[in-house]
Structure 1
Amino acid sequence: MNRAEREAAARRIMERVPPRVPPELYGEVLRRGNRRLRRRRAARRLLWLLLCAASVAFLVWAVTARPWVEPPTQTTPPYTGW
């Protein structure tokens, strides 16, 4: 099949009338689409909630542990009994 034949075949396919969709299929498609949107929205909210919880947990840890403060040096023993 050469290029002209392929183009003619493609034109014939595109010029055909598309098949009719059964009317009961429309409701099913809407139901599935709404369910998919609800699940996606719930997953997005759950991920945002987890991100916020992780941020709060990190903030509480950082305030209590204070990792930016240098630990005290303990190279010499304490002087007691002088």
Structure 2
Amino acid sequence: MNQPRRESAVRQMLEGPTAQVSPELYADVLRRGGRMLRRRRAARRLLWLLLLAGTVAFVVWALTVQPWVEPPSETTPPLTGW
């Protein structure tokens, strides 16, 4: 059954005098819902992993480069022999 026919069959069942849902439809909804939840969970875990990796990379970069330290001046030679 294609998607439009399936949707119209569901609408007819729900608009009828007794709204009964077939067991096949219920099983299909459970399967799709479970798949959707697994995908969302996987996407959420992937985003947390990327955030953690980015944080670790930034901390390692900051500790090696030390951007808060002012670089030594190279415009004047050091004073020696006074």
> TM-score, length-normalised on structure 2?
0.71
* Deviation digits for residues 35-79 of structure 1 (CA, Å, limit 9, x no counterpart): 000000000000000000000000000000000000111121346
Alignment identity in percent? 69
Runs of 4+ aligned structure 1 residues displaced above 4 Å come to none
Structure 1 residue runs without a partner (length 5+): 1-15
- Report the 3-state secondary structure (helix = DSSP H, G, I; strand = E; otherwise coil) of the residue aligned with 1:53: helix
Q: Residue type matched to 1:76 in 2?
A: T
Highest RCO, 1 vs 2 (Cα 8 Å, sep ≥ 6)? 2
Between 16-25 and 43-52, the greater mean CA deviation after superposition: 16-25
Partner residue of 2:77? 77
TM-aligned CA deviation for residue 18 of structure 1? 4.9
Q: How many matched pairs?
A: 67
Between 42-51 and 68-77, the greater mean CA deviation after superposition: 68-77
Distance of 2:61 and 2:18 partners within structure 1: 62
Larger radius of gyration: 1
Partner residue of 1:13? none
Distance of 2:52 and 2:18 partners within structure 1: 49
How well do the aligned residues superpose, as a CA RMSD in angstroms? Answer: 2.2
- Report the 3-state secondary structure (helix = DSSP H, G, I; strand = E; otherwise coil) of the residue aligned with 1:56: helix
